[in-house]
Amino acid sequence: MTAGDAARDRVRPRIIGVLVAGQVLGGVSAGATISLGALLAADVTGSEALSGLASTFLTLGAAIAAVPLARLAVRSGRRIALASGVLLSAAGAASTIAAVVTMSPVWLFGSFLLVGVGSAVGLQARFAATDLSGSSTRARDLSVVVWATTIGAVLGPNLVGPGAAVGDVVGLPDRTGPFLFSIVSGLLAATVYLVGLRPDPLLESRRRVSDAPAVGGRSLEAVPSEGRRRFAIVAVAASHAVMVAVMAMTPVQLHHHGDADAVVGFTLSLHIAGMYALSPVFGWLADRIGRVPVVMGGQGLIVVALVVASVGAHDSVAVGTGLVLLGVGWSASTIAGSALVTESTVAEDRPRVQGRTDLTMNLGGAAAGALAGVVLSLVGYGGLALSGLALVAVVVVTGLVTIASSRREAAARG
Protein backbone atom coordinates (compact mmCIF):
# COMPACT_ATOMS: atom_id res chain seq x y z
CA MET A 1 0.00 0.00 0.00
CA THR A 2 1.39 3.41 -0.96
CA ALA A 3 1.35 6.47 1.28
CA GLY A 4 -1.38 7.93 -0.92
CA ASP A 5 -3.51 4.82 -0.45
CA ALA A 6 -3.08 4.96 3.31
CA ALA A 7 -4.05 8.63 3.41
CA ARG A 8 -7.09 7.91 1.25
CA ASP A 9 -8.21 5.10 3.52
CA ARG A 10 -7.97 7.35 6.58
CA VAL A 11 -10.16 10.04 5.00
CA ARG A 12 -12.69 7.77 3.30
CA PRO A 13 -14.70 6.57 6.36
CA ARG A 14 -15.31 10.12 7.56
CA ILE A 15 -16.40 11.30 4.11
CA ILE A 16 -18.80 8.37 3.83
CA GLY A 17 -20.16 9.24 7.29
CA VAL A 18 -20.93 12.78 6.16
CA LEU A 19 -22.63 11.48 3.02
CA VAL A 20 -24.66 9.08 5.17
CA ALA A 21 -25.87 11.95 7.37
CA GLY A 22 -26.86 13.97 4.31
CA GLN A 23 -28.75 11.02 2.85
CA VAL A 24 -30.73 10.51 6.06
CA LEU A 25 -31.86 14.13 6.01
CA GLY A 26 -32.56 14.04 2.28
CA GLY A 27 -34.60 10.88 2.68
CA VAL A 28 -36.99 12.60 5.08
CA SER A 29 -37.81 15.16 2.44
CA ALA A 30 -38.15 12.64 -0.38
CA GLY A 31 -40.32 10.26 1.63
CA ALA A 32 -42.92 12.89 2.48
CA THR A 33 -43.00 14.21 -1.08
CA ILE A 34 -43.42 10.80 -2.72
CA SER A 35 -46.32 9.95 -0.41
CA LEU A 36 -48.30 13.10 -1.14
CA GLY A 37 -47.23 14.27 -4.59
CA ALA A 38 -49.81 12.31 -6.59
CA LEU A 39 -52.59 13.15 -4.12
CA LEU A 40 -51.80 16.87 -4.21
CA ALA A 41 -51.71 16.79 -8.01
CA ALA A 42 -55.15 15.16 -8.07
CA ASP A 43 -56.49 17.70 -5.55
CA VAL A 44 -55.18 20.75 -7.40
CA THR A 45 -55.96 19.59 -10.95
CA GLY A 46 -59.20 17.77 -10.09
CA SER A 47 -58.14 14.80 -12.23
CA GLU A 48 -56.75 11.43 -11.19
CA ALA A 49 -55.47 10.91 -14.74
CA LEU A 50 -53.10 13.84 -14.15
CA SER A 51 -51.94 12.60 -10.76
CA GLY A 52 -49.06 10.70 -12.37
CA LEU A 53 -47.62 14.05 -13.46
CA ALA A 54 -46.42 14.55 -9.89
CA SER A 55 -43.88 11.76 -10.31
CA THR A 56 -43.16 12.96 -13.82
CA PHE A 57 -42.15 16.43 -12.69
CA LEU A 58 -40.28 15.17 -9.62
CA THR A 59 -38.18 12.84 -11.75
CA LEU A 60 -37.90 15.41 -14.53
CA GLY A 61 -36.52 17.87 -11.99
CA ALA A 62 -33.93 15.30 -11.00
CA ALA A 63 -33.12 14.68 -14.66
CA ILE A 64 -32.71 18.38 -15.45
CA ALA A 65 -30.43 18.86 -12.44
CA ALA A 66 -28.24 15.78 -13.01
CA VAL A 67 -25.81 17.16 -15.60
CA PRO A 68 -25.55 20.70 -14.14
CA LEU A 69 -24.84 19.24 -10.69
CA ALA A 70 -22.18 16.98 -12.20
CA ARG A 71 -20.60 19.95 -13.95
CA LEU A 72 -20.71 21.97 -10.74
CA ALA A 73 -19.01 19.07 -8.97
CA VAL A 74 -16.27 18.97 -11.61
CA ARG A 75 -15.73 22.71 -11.26
CA SER A 76 -16.18 23.24 -7.50
CA GLY A 77 -16.31 19.77 -5.93
CA ARG A 78 -19.02 17.55 -4.46
CA ARG A 79 -19.45 19.78 -1.37
CA ILE A 80 -20.79 22.77 -3.29
CA ALA A 81 -22.81 20.65 -5.73
CA LEU A 82 -24.61 18.62 -3.06
CA ALA A 83 -25.33 21.62 -0.81
CA SER A 84 -26.67 23.68 -3.72
CA GLY A 85 -28.97 20.85 -4.76
CA VAL A 86 -30.58 20.31 -1.36
CA LEU A 87 -31.15 24.06 -0.94
CA LEU A 88 -33.00 24.13 -4.27
CA SER A 89 -35.09 21.17 -3.14
CA ALA A 90 -35.99 22.93 0.11
CA ALA A 91 -37.04 25.98 -1.88
CA GLY A 92 -39.24 23.68 -3.96
CA ALA A 93 -40.95 22.36 -0.84
CA ALA A 94 -41.77 25.92 0.25
CA SER A 95 -43.02 26.70 -3.24
CA THR A 96 -45.24 23.59 -3.20
CA ILE A 97 -47.09 24.90 -0.16
CA ALA A 98 -47.65 28.24 -1.88
CA ALA A 99 -48.88 26.49 -5.03
CA VAL A 100 -51.50 24.54 -3.10
CA VAL A 101 -52.63 27.71 -1.33
CA THR A 102 -53.28 29.31 -4.72
CA MET A 103 -54.56 26.04 -6.27
CA SER A 104 -52.32 26.63 -9.28
CA PRO A 105 -51.43 23.45 -11.23
CA VAL A 106 -48.69 25.21 -13.18
CA TRP A 107 -47.08 26.50 -10.01
CA LEU A 108 -47.45 23.11 -8.33
CA PHE A 109 -45.73 21.17 -11.10
CA GLY A 110 -43.03 23.83 -11.35
CA SER A 111 -42.44 23.40 -7.62
CA PHE A 112 -42.16 19.64 -8.07
CA LEU A 113 -39.34 20.28 -10.56
CA LEU A 114 -37.37 22.01 -7.80
CA VAL A 115 -38.24 19.36 -5.21
CA GLY A 116 -36.95 16.74 -7.63
CA VAL A 117 -33.47 18.26 -7.47
CA GLY A 118 -33.19 16.56 -4.07
CA SER A 119 -33.34 13.18 -5.80
CA ALA A 120 -30.50 14.24 -8.08
CA VAL A 121 -28.47 15.09 -4.98
CA GLY A 122 -29.12 11.65 -3.50
CA LEU A 123 -28.00 10.02 -6.73
CA GLN A 124 -24.84 12.11 -6.93
CA ALA A 125 -24.06 11.33 -3.29
CA ARG A 126 -23.88 7.60 -4.11
CA PHE A 127 -21.25 8.35 -6.75
CA ALA A 128 -19.44 10.68 -4.32
CA ALA A 129 -19.00 7.63 -2.08
CA THR A 130 -16.89 6.01 -4.82
CA ASP A 131 -14.55 8.97 -5.33
CA LEU A 132 -12.07 7.64 -2.79
CA SER A 133 -12.80 3.92 -3.27
CA GLY A 134 -10.77 1.18 -4.87
CA SER A 135 -12.37 -1.41 -7.14
CA SER A 136 -12.58 -4.05 -4.39
CA THR A 137 -14.76 -1.86 -2.13
CA ARG A 138 -16.50 0.44 -4.60
CA ALA A 139 -19.92 -1.22 -4.59
CA ARG A 140 -19.94 -1.57 -0.80
CA ASP A 141 -19.02 2.09 -0.23
CA LEU A 142 -21.72 3.14 -2.67
CA SER A 143 -24.27 0.83 -1.06
CA VAL A 144 -23.68 2.18 2.45
CA VAL A 145 -24.60 5.69 1.31
CA VAL A 146 -27.65 4.38 -0.52
CA TRP A 147 -28.64 2.38 2.55
CA ALA A 148 -28.58 5.52 4.70
CA THR A 149 -31.55 6.82 2.78
CA THR A 150 -33.59 4.06 4.46
CA ILE A 151 -33.80 5.94 7.73
CA GLY A 152 -35.09 9.20 6.34
CA ALA A 153 -37.13 7.67 3.55
CA VAL A 154 -39.00 5.33 5.89
CA LEU A 155 -39.48 8.11 8.42
CA GLY A 156 -40.65 10.61 5.79
CA PRO A 157 -43.96 8.99 4.79
CA ASN A 158 -44.78 8.35 8.43
CA LEU A 159 -44.46 12.06 9.12
CA VAL A 160 -47.63 12.60 7.09
CA GLY A 161 -49.76 12.48 10.23
CA PRO A 162 -47.55 14.72 12.42
CA GLY A 163 -47.01 17.02 9.45
CA ALA A 164 -50.74 17.37 8.98
CA ALA A 165 -51.10 18.27 12.66
CA VAL A 166 -48.39 20.92 12.40
CA GLY A 167 -49.96 22.22 9.20
CA ASP A 168 -53.32 22.57 10.92
CA VAL A 169 -51.75 24.54 13.75
CA VAL A 170 -50.14 27.06 11.39
CA GLY A 171 -53.12 27.15 9.03
CA LEU A 172 -51.68 25.37 5.99
CA PRO A 173 -53.87 23.61 3.39
CA ASP A 174 -54.60 19.90 3.74
CA ARG A 175 -51.64 17.58 2.98
CA THR A 176 -49.03 20.38 2.85
CA GLY A 177 -47.86 20.28 6.48
CA PRO A 178 -45.24 17.54 5.87
CA PHE A 179 -43.45 19.83 3.45
CA LEU A 180 -42.41 21.92 6.44
CA PHE A 181 -40.28 18.97 7.49
CA SER A 182 -38.83 18.87 3.98
CA ILE A 183 -37.74 22.49 4.27
CA VAL A 184 -36.05 21.95 7.62
CA SER A 185 -34.34 18.72 6.58
CA GLY A 186 -33.03 20.38 3.40
CA LEU A 187 -31.47 23.24 5.34
CA LEU A 188 -29.84 20.80 7.74
CA ALA A 189 -28.51 18.64 4.91
CA ALA A 190 -26.93 21.66 3.21
CA THR A 191 -25.18 22.52 6.46
CA VAL A 192 -23.88 18.97 6.84
CA TYR A 193 -22.43 18.95 3.33
CA LEU A 194 -20.85 22.39 3.54
CA VAL A 195 -19.26 21.79 6.92
CA GLY A 196 -18.46 18.08 6.73
CA LEU A 197 -17.17 17.40 3.22
CA ARG A 198 -13.63 18.58 3.90
CA PRO A 199 -11.54 17.53 2.10
CA ASP A 200 -13.88 17.37 -0.85
CA PRO A 201 -13.86 13.73 -2.05
CA LEU A 202 -13.84 14.47 -5.78
CA LEU A 203 -11.13 17.12 -5.56
CA GLU A 204 -9.15 14.90 -3.21
CA SER A 205 -9.42 11.96 -5.59
CA ARG A 206 -7.86 13.99 -8.37
CA ARG A 207 -4.80 14.55 -6.24
CA ARG A 208 -4.14 11.18 -4.71
CA VAL A 209 -6.45 8.36 -5.75
CA SER A 210 -5.52 5.72 -8.26
CA ASP A 211 -7.79 2.73 -8.83
CA ALA A 212 -6.96 -0.34 -6.83
CA PRO A 213 -6.04 -3.35 -9.01
CA ALA A 214 -8.78 -5.78 -9.83
CA VAL A 215 -8.84 -8.98 -7.78
CA GLY A 216 -10.32 -12.44 -8.13
CA GLY A 217 -13.13 -12.82 -10.64
CA ARG A 218 -13.70 -9.09 -11.01
CA SER A 219 -10.95 -8.37 -13.50
CA LEU A 220 -13.29 -8.27 -16.48
CA GLU A 221 -15.49 -5.64 -14.84
CA ALA A 222 -12.72 -3.44 -13.46
CA VAL A 223 -11.53 -2.09 -16.83
CA PRO A 224 -13.10 0.62 -19.03
CA SER A 225 -15.63 -0.92 -21.41
CA GLU A 226 -18.22 0.74 -23.61
CA GLY A 227 -20.37 -2.41 -23.70
CA ARG A 228 -20.52 -2.90 -19.93
CA ARG A 229 -21.12 0.81 -19.39
CA ARG A 230 -24.02 0.73 -21.87
CA PHE A 231 -25.55 -2.29 -20.14
CA ALA A 232 -25.19 -0.64 -16.73
CA ILE A 233 -26.93 2.55 -17.86
CA VAL A 234 -29.76 0.59 -19.49
CA ALA A 235 -30.23 -1.50 -16.33
CA VAL A 236 -30.27 1.50 -13.99
CA ALA A 237 -32.62 3.53 -16.20
CA ALA A 238 -35.08 0.72 -16.97
CA SER A 239 -35.28 -0.47 -13.37
CA HIS A 240 -35.96 3.07 -12.23
CA ALA A 241 -38.67 3.58 -14.86
CA VAL A 242 -40.53 0.43 -13.79
CA MET A 243 -40.25 1.37 -10.13
CA VAL A 244 -41.48 4.94 -10.64
CA ALA A 245 -44.46 3.90 -12.77
CA VAL A 246 -45.79 1.36 -10.28
CA MET A 247 -44.93 3.33 -7.15
CA ALA A 248 -46.50 6.53 -8.44
CA MET A 249 -49.87 4.92 -8.98
CA THR A 250 -49.94 2.86 -5.80
CA PRO A 251 -51.37 5.70 -3.62
CA VAL A 252 -54.18 6.17 -6.15
CA GLN A 253 -54.88 2.42 -6.24
CA LEU A 254 -54.98 2.17 -2.46
CA HIS A 255 -57.31 5.14 -2.20
CA HIS A 256 -59.66 3.41 -4.64
CA HIS A 257 -59.93 0.68 -1.99
CA GLY A 258 -60.77 3.22 0.66
CA ASP A 259 -57.41 3.09 2.46
CA ALA A 260 -56.56 6.14 4.52
CA ASP A 261 -53.55 8.42 3.97
CA ALA A 262 -51.79 6.75 6.91
CA VAL A 263 -52.08 3.33 5.22
CA VAL A 264 -50.73 4.78 2.01
CA GLY A 265 -47.82 6.29 3.90
CA PHE A 266 -47.06 2.99 5.66
CA THR A 267 -47.16 1.06 2.37
CA LEU A 268 -44.79 3.53 0.76
CA SER A 269 -42.52 3.25 3.79
CA LEU A 270 -42.26 -0.51 3.29
CA HIS A 271 -41.50 -0.02 -0.39
CA ILE A 272 -38.77 2.53 0.34
CA ALA A 273 -37.34 0.20 2.99
CA GLY A 274 -37.14 -2.46 0.28
CA MET A 275 -35.31 0.01 -1.96
CA TYR A 276 -32.60 0.82 0.57
CA ALA A 277 -32.45 -1.53 3.58
CA LEU A 278 -30.62 -4.38 1.80
CA SER A 279 -28.27 -2.11 -0.15
CA PRO A 280 -25.13 -3.22 1.78
CA VAL A 281 -25.94 -6.84 1.00
CA PHE A 282 -26.10 -6.12 -2.71
CA GLY A 283 -22.95 -4.00 -2.48
CA TRP A 284 -21.10 -6.88 -0.85
CA LEU A 285 -22.42 -9.34 -3.43
CA ALA A 286 -21.49 -7.04 -6.31
CA ASP A 287 -17.91 -6.75 -5.01
CA ARG A 288 -17.70 -10.50 -4.41
CA ILE A 289 -19.43 -12.17 -7.38
CA GLY A 290 -19.53 -9.34 -9.91
CA ARG A 291 -21.76 -6.48 -11.00
CA VAL A 292 -23.54 -8.14 -13.92
CA PRO A 293 -24.83 -11.20 -11.98
CA VAL A 294 -26.28 -8.96 -9.26
CA VAL A 295 -28.03 -6.77 -11.83
CA MET A 296 -29.55 -9.86 -13.45
CA GLY A 297 -30.69 -11.15 -10.06
CA GLY A 298 -32.34 -7.80 -9.44
CA GLN A 299 -34.29 -8.15 -12.67
CA GLY A 300 -35.58 -11.53 -11.49
CA LEU A 301 -36.85 -9.90 -8.28
CA ILE A 302 -38.58 -7.19 -10.30
CA VAL A 303 -40.38 -9.84 -12.38
CA VAL A 304 -41.71 -11.51 -9.22
CA ALA A 305 -42.76 -8.14 -7.83
CA LEU A 306 -44.70 -7.16 -10.94
CA VAL A 307 -46.54 -10.48 -11.08
CA VAL A 308 -47.49 -10.32 -7.38
CA ALA A 309 -48.72 -6.72 -7.72
CA SER A 310 -50.73 -7.59 -10.81
CA VAL A 311 -52.36 -10.75 -9.46
CA GLY A 312 -53.14 -9.07 -6.12
CA ALA A 313 -54.06 -5.67 -7.50
CA HIS A 314 -57.27 -5.53 -5.44
CA ASP A 315 -55.67 -6.63 -2.20
CA SER A 316 -53.74 -4.06 -0.15
CA VAL A 317 -51.44 -6.68 1.39
CA ALA A 318 -50.52 -8.11 -2.02
CA VAL A 319 -49.93 -4.64 -3.43
CA GLY A 320 -47.67 -3.86 -0.49
CA THR A 321 -45.77 -7.14 -0.91
CA GLY A 322 -45.23 -6.49 -4.60
CA LEU A 323 -44.05 -2.98 -3.85
CA VAL A 324 -41.48 -4.22 -1.32
CA LEU A 325 -40.11 -6.79 -3.78
CA LEU A 326 -40.00 -4.11 -6.45
CA GLY A 327 -37.89 -1.96 -4.17
CA VAL A 328 -35.50 -4.83 -3.44
CA GLY A 329 -35.06 -5.58 -7.15
CA TRP A 330 -34.48 -1.90 -7.85
CA SER A 331 -31.82 -1.84 -5.13
CA ALA A 332 -29.86 -4.78 -6.53
CA SER A 333 -29.93 -3.39 -10.06
CA THR A 334 -29.10 0.18 -9.07
CA ILE A 335 -26.26 -0.63 -6.66
CA ALA A 336 -24.48 -3.03 -8.99
CA GLY A 337 -25.28 -0.99 -12.10
CA SER A 338 -23.97 2.24 -10.58
CA ALA A 339 -20.73 0.59 -9.53
CA LEU A 340 -20.36 -0.82 -13.03
CA VAL A 341 -20.93 2.60 -14.62
CA THR A 342 -18.11 4.05 -12.51
CA GLU A 343 -15.50 1.38 -13.09
CA SER A 344 -16.31 0.96 -16.79
CA THR A 345 -15.32 4.60 -17.34
CA VAL A 346 -11.84 6.11 -17.23
CA ALA A 347 -11.33 8.19 -14.07
CA GLU A 348 -11.23 11.62 -15.70
CA ASP A 349 -14.59 11.05 -17.44
CA ARG A 350 -16.45 9.60 -14.47
CA PRO A 351 -18.32 12.69 -13.17
CA ARG A 352 -19.56 13.49 -16.67
CA VAL A 353 -20.71 9.92 -17.36
CA GLN A 354 -22.25 9.65 -13.90
CA GLY A 355 -24.26 12.80 -14.57
CA ARG A 356 -25.46 11.45 -17.90
CA THR A 357 -26.40 8.18 -16.23
CA ASP A 358 -28.57 10.00 -13.72
CA LEU A 359 -30.06 12.10 -16.55
CA THR A 360 -31.03 8.95 -18.45
CA MET A 361 -32.33 7.30 -15.30
CA ASN A 362 -34.56 10.21 -14.40
CA LEU A 363 -35.79 10.86 -17.92
CA GLY A 364 -36.91 7.25 -17.99
CA GLY A 365 -38.63 7.73 -14.67
CA ALA A 366 -40.28 10.93 -15.84
CA ALA A 367 -41.64 9.26 -18.96
CA ALA A 368 -42.88 6.31 -16.93
CA GLY A 369 -44.58 8.60 -14.43
CA ALA A 370 -46.27 10.55 -17.23
CA LEU A 371 -47.64 7.38 -18.83
CA ALA A 372 -48.54 5.62 -15.59
CA GLY A 373 -51.75 7.54 -14.95
CA VAL A 374 -52.96 6.98 -18.50
CA VAL A 375 -52.11 3.26 -18.41
CA LEU A 376 -53.85 2.94 -15.04
CA SER A 377 -57.01 4.48 -16.44
CA LEU A 378 -56.92 2.15 -19.48
CA VAL A 379 -55.90 -1.26 -18.10
CA GLY A 380 -55.93 -0.84 -14.35
CA TYR A 381 -53.20 -1.33 -11.78
CA GLY A 382 -52.65 -4.98 -12.69
CA GLY A 383 -52.10 -4.13 -16.34
CA LEU A 384 -49.75 -1.32 -15.37
CA ALA A 385 -47.63 -3.75 -13.35
CA LEU A 386 -47.44 -6.31 -16.17
CA SER A 387 -46.43 -3.65 -18.68
CA GLY A 388 -43.17 -3.25 -16.77
CA LEU A 389 -42.10 -6.72 -17.89
CA ALA A 390 -41.23 -5.27 -21.31
CA LEU A 391 -38.48 -3.12 -19.80
CA VAL A 392 -37.16 -6.04 -17.77
CA ALA A 393 -36.85 -8.02 -21.00
CA VAL A 394 -34.72 -5.25 -22.52
CA VAL A 395 -32.33 -5.35 -19.56
CA VAL A 396 -32.06 -9.14 -19.58
CA VAL A 397 -31.33 -9.31 -23.31
CA THR A 398 -28.72 -6.55 -23.01
CA GLY A 399 -27.17 -8.39 -20.06
CA LEU A 400 -26.92 -11.66 -21.95
CA VAL A 401 -25.23 -9.86 -24.85
CA THR A 402 -22.80 -8.24 -22.40
CA ILE A 403 -21.94 -11.56 -20.77
CA ALA A 404 -21.31 -13.16 -24.15
CA SER A 405 -19.13 -10.24 -25.23
CA SER A 406 -17.10 -10.39 -21.99
CA ARG A 407 -16.46 -14.09 -22.52
CA ARG A 408 -15.26 -13.47 -26.06
CA GLU A 409 -12.94 -10.72 -24.81
CA ALA A 410 -11.57 -13.03 -22.11
CA ALA A 411 -11.00 -15.81 -24.66
CA ALA A 412 -9.21 -13.39 -26.97
CA ARG A 413 -6.91 -12.23 -24.17
CA GLY A 414 -6.32 -15.78 -22.96
Structural domains of the chain, ranges and CATH numbers in brackets: 3-413 (1.20.1250.20)
Residue 31 makes CB contacts below 8 A (sequence gap 6+) with: 152, 153, 154, 155, 156, 157, 158, 159, 268, 269, 272
Residue 110 makes CB contacts below 8 A (sequence gap 6+) with: 57, 95, 99
Helix H, strand E, coil C: the string for 18-81 is HHHHHHHHHHHHHHHHHHHHHHHHHHHHCCHHHCCHHHHHHHHHHHHHHHHHHHHHHHHCHHHH
Mean of pLDDT values over 256-285: 80
Separation between Cα atoms, residue 265 and residue 160, nearest integer Å: 7
**Whole-prediction pTM:** 0.81
Residue 311 CA: distances (Å) to CA of 371, 374, 380, 382: 21, 20, 12, 7
Give me the sign of the Cα torsion angle 294, 298, 300, 301: positive
* Residues 324-359: tens digit of each pLDDT: 999 999 999 999 999 999 989 888 889 999 999 999
Residue 207 makes CB contacts below 8 A (sequence gap 6+) with: none
- The angle formed by the CA atoms of residues 352, 354 and 355, to the nearest 5 degrees, is 65
Separation between Cα atoms, residue 283 and residue 21, nearest integer Å: 19
* Residues 178-231: tens digit of each pLDDT: 899 889 999 999 999 999 999 999 998 877 644 444 443 343 444 568 889 999
- Average pLDDT of the chain is 86
- Predicted local confidence at residue 258, as pLDDT: 59
Most confident option among 12-16, 171-175, 302-306: 302-306
Separation between Cα atoms, residue 239 and residue 386, nearest integer Å: 14
C-alpha count within 13 angstroms, C-beta hemisphere, residue 61: 27
Lowest mean pLDDT among 113-122, 211-220, 352-361, 365-374: 211-220
* Residues 381-401: tens digit of each pLDDT: 999 999 999 999 999 999 999
Cis peptide before 213 (omega within 30 of 0): no
